[in-house]
Structure 1
Amino acid sequence: MISLVAFALLAADGEPPLVAPEPPALDAIEFELAPIVYAAPPPPRPLPMPRIEVEAPSGLPPHVRSMLDAAIASGDAQAVATVTKLAKQTAPWAARDAEKLRDGFNNRIAEQKALAERQRHDRIKAASFFDGWSGELEFGASRATGNTRTLGLYGAAKGEREGLRVRHRFNGRADVQETNNETTTERWLLAYQPNFKFDDRLYAYGLGQYEHDRFLGYDSRYTLGGGFGYTVFTGPRLKLDIEGGPALRYTDFVDESDETTVAGRASIALKWAISPTASLNQDAAVYVESGNTNASSTIALDAKLFGPLRTRISYNIRYERDAPVDRDPVDTLSRATLVYTF
């Protein structure tokens, strides 16, 4: 509007009016636009995962605890140790709980053993020499009639008393047989052996023994000896004693003069509980002396019948190098007998 007024004033003065240039058409204007570059936005940063707090279980699972309780109730230390190991693998978070139960069981067992040992100590200390003996009585017999008339009798006794420092052992045996009213077997043995214990395994022993077997060439034989013994196995199912030492022997021969010799003695005593109803025992001894060697070994298999009664099958072998000329130096005897234990 201002431009129109100015143009009119100029025209009134006689001057040609100034003509304003026309604006160029829009389609004649060339626009140059810079290219727009779009950059990809950066990837979003991963959000941290929220920490999930899981509360560790406490205590032994019920099924694991019941297994451990059953093992403890059985009183078997080996079973408790095995189940405890499995419980720690199954529930490691409760390993300490399982160990506490195991340790408690072991402590109770140790206390019971200590109490039993004190009671045994007091009982043995107060007992007389005739109290506290254990052992066995063995008896067997045979009889035959007809063309050959035979009668055989066999008896044996063993006794042992376990003291605090001294162990007493007694052994006696008699074996007699007649065939057609003629004596064909006549054996006697009586022995006493004290053991002086240094500990649970090592001990010193003394030995006094009498033997009679005129069919092996001697009417009587007396033995005095001593030495040391060692218990190789001391378990409740297996026990093995070995002994060795010198011995002084006096022998009254049937057809020769008397003789006194010094011998070396070695022996073993084995007891093996094969099962609750069966056991295997062996007693063997050998004497080595100048001009003579003799040995004896008995192996026996016992089977429990009922109560204190057992049946026994045994095999005995005896060797006498200096036997009479008309006698075999080796004698063997197999028998079946009944055994009463006490």
Structure 2
Amino acid sequence: MAAVVVAPAHAEWKGQGQAGIVFARGNTDTDTANVKLEMAKEAASWTHKFGVAALRAATSGDKTAERYEGMWQSDYKISERDYYWGGVRYEDDRFSGFDYQATATTGYGRKFINTDDTKFVGEVGVGYRRLKTVAQIGPPFIASETSGDAILRGFLGYETKLTDTTSLIDKFTVEAGSDNTFMSNVFALQVKMNEAFALSLGFDVRYNTDPPAGKKKSDTLTTVNLVYAF
């Protein structure tokens, strides 16, 4: 009798894309639009996560905001709750005073709560950051500077279902180094309209402890987005 072996199906990428209006306050005081894409794929002991985002605005024909972000992270499961991770992040924010901030980090993560309704994870790690400031035309003229430093990275992620159609999501990230400490908190309240679409009310805070001269330390975004899950 011949044995029949059924190969496991390949894991597929799942995620969500969203777009909507933005009210930006801080280094960029304007109303504009944003887009964001987040995807994840689980395969055996690995989980891969990918994300990109863009923010653009113009007032009276003059560009007032332009930011692009990208990230990749791979997690390797060592138990049902614990995992090792490694990732990279790149940010190009033309109006923050930084030409770019790029990081590569690795560390340990734990799923403190992992139920169908609530998920709470924490991550801690170390890595390297490269950043470049934007030259200031002046007066006075300030030349751009490029530097690199070792960093500590921390992350907390929380998601819970308040009702069958309403979810609360919060993600906090910190990258601390000698040149600058970057912190970001992304909060969202999502209400499902059907299996594919949802409305999301978000509030994002970004903070740099040592921004270039003439730039504010914090920026906030208030967003109302249409979300498509796939």
Cα deviation, residue 309, structure 1: 0.4
Deviation string 1:117-147 (CA, Å, 9 cap, x unpaired) is xxxxx77x441xxx4221101011469xxxx
Does 1:246 pair with 2:134? no
Does 1:206 pair with 2:86? yes
Residue pairs, 1:171-190, within 5 angstroms: 171-190=51-70
Residue pairs, 1:188-267, within 5 angstroms: 188-255=68-135, 256-267=144-155
The residue number in structure 2 matching 1:312 is 200
Cα deviation, residue 151, structure 1: 6.4
The residue number in structure 2 matching 1:293 is 181
Deviation string 1:220-269 (CA, Å, 9 cap, x unpaired) is 22111100000000111000110010010111211231111111000111
Change (3 A) 1:142 1:243: closer
Give the AA of the match of 1:160: A
The 3-state SS of whatever aligns with 1:157 is strand
- Is the Cα–Cα contact under 8 Å of residues 54 and 68 in structure 2 kept in the other structure? yes
- Is the Cα–Cα contact under 8 Å of residues 216 and 320 in structure 1 kept in the other structure? no
Greater Rg over alpha carbons, structure: 1
Deviation string 1:123-176 (CA, Å, 9 cap, x unpaired) is 7x441xxx4221101011469xxxxxx762210011111121000111111111
The residue number in structure 1 matching 2:222 is 334
Give the AA of the match of 1:328: K
Give the AA of the match of 1:293: T
TM-score by length of 1: 0.59
Change (3 A) 1:266 1:260: same
State the 4+ residue runs in structure 1 displaced beyond 4 angstroms: none
Cα deviation, residue 325, structure 1: 2.4
CA distance in 2, matches of 1:199, 1:274: 28
Give the AA of the match of 1:300: A
Cα deviation, residue 299, structure 1: 0.3
Larger RCO: Structure 1 or Structure 2 (Cα < 8 Å, ≥ 6 residues apart)? 2
Q: Unpaired segments of 5 or more residues in structure 1?
A: 1-121, 144-149
The 3-state SS of whatever aligns with 2:215 is coil
Change (3 A) 1:142 1:217: closer
TM-score by length of 2: 0.87
The residue number in structure 1 matching 2:41 is 161
Residue pairs, 1:129-148, within 5 angstroms: 131-141=11-21
CA distance in 2, matches of 1:290, 1:221: 14
Give the AA of the match of 1:209: R
CA distance in 2, matches of 1:282, 1:247: 23
Cα deviation, residue 284, structure 1: 1.2
Deviation string 1:74-98 (CA, Å, 9 cap, x unpaired) is xxxxxxxxxxxxxxxxxxxxxxxxx
Cα deviation, residue 283, structure 1: 1.2
- Is the Cα–Cα contact under 8 Å of residues 22 and 224 in structure 2 kept in the other structure? no
The 3-state SS of whatever aligns with 2:174 is strand
What is the total number of aligned residue pairs between the two structures? Answer: 211
The residue number in structure 2 matching 1:107 is none
The 3-state SS of whatever aligns with 2:63 is strand
The residue number in structure 2 matching 1:41 is none
Give the AA of the match of 1:282: D
CA distance in 2, matches of 1:340, 1:247: 33
Change (3 A) 1:142 1:272: closer
